[in-house]
């Protein structure tokens, strides 16, 4: 029995080091419920621990529930997470959406060498690299020009087909979305 326990502990340690355990652990996964179905995001505390901690805290507190996808650009990304102005139940403010954050402090950049590919989840920020707070975006396609410039917090591991169905914004208005889709709920775990 001790040999089996040792073998299991060794396999778990190896899986954790290689990132395999993240998707299986409810602690490092969030599930976003969209109108077309769930989206499961594997979070990466190994590369962005402060950002992941903040996202999980906001999700656990229900802050992301009913928040709009206020900026969605075809072939690029869908941005959401403005809990200050993007909550549909609190009175969505389209003219301000994308300018707010949360009651939590802004975060210092946690840039990594993880590339922005289809399904990558990154933190939105202003011109100041240390200004990410609650907003994040999901990539529809690769965006190499973002590499090393924005913090990667995770990757969609299930439900990317639901992300693809998010209502697109107006190209002439930097992807701003009239009557936007929203995150119905966001929870920690699968």
CATH number at residue 91: 2.40.100.10
| Number of domains making up the chain | 1
This prediction's pTM: 0.83
Q: Is 115 helix (H, G, I), strand (E, B) or coil?
A: coil
In a domain, 3, yes or no: no
In a domain, 5, yes or no: no
Question: Is the C-alpha dihedral spanning 92, 93, 97, 100 positive or negative?
Answer: negative
Percent of the chain surpassing pLDDT 70: 79
pLDDT of 48 reads: 98
pLDDT of 3 reads: 45
In a domain, 13, yes or no: no
In a domain, 174, yes or no: yes
131: domain range?
27-188
Does residue 47 have a pLDDT over 90?
A: yes
In a domain, 12, yes or no: no
């Amino acid at each position: 029995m001790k040999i089996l326990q040792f073998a299991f502990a060794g396999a778990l340690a190896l899986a954790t080091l290689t990132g395999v355990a993240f998707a299986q652990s409810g602690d490092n996964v969030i599930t976003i419920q969209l109108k077309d179905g769930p989206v499961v995001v594997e979070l990466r505390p190994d590369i962005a621990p402060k950002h992941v901690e903040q996202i999980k805290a906001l999700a656990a507190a229900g802050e992301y529930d009913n928040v709009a996808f206020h900026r969605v650009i075809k072939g690029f990304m869908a941005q959401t997470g403005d809990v200050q102005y993007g909550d549909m139940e609190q009175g969505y403010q389209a003219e301000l959406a994308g300018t707010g954050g949360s009651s939590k402090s802004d975060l210092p950049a946690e840039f990594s060498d993880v590339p922005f590919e289809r399904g990558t989840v990154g933190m939105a920020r202003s011109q100041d690299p240390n200004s990410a707070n609650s907003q994040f975006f999901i990539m529809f396609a690769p965006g190499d020009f973002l590499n090393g410039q924005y913090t990667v917090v995770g990757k969609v591991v299930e439900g990317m087909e639901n992300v693809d169905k998010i209502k697109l914004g107006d190209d002439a208005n930097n992807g701003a979305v009239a009557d936007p889709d929203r995150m119905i709920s966001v929870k920690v775990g699968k």
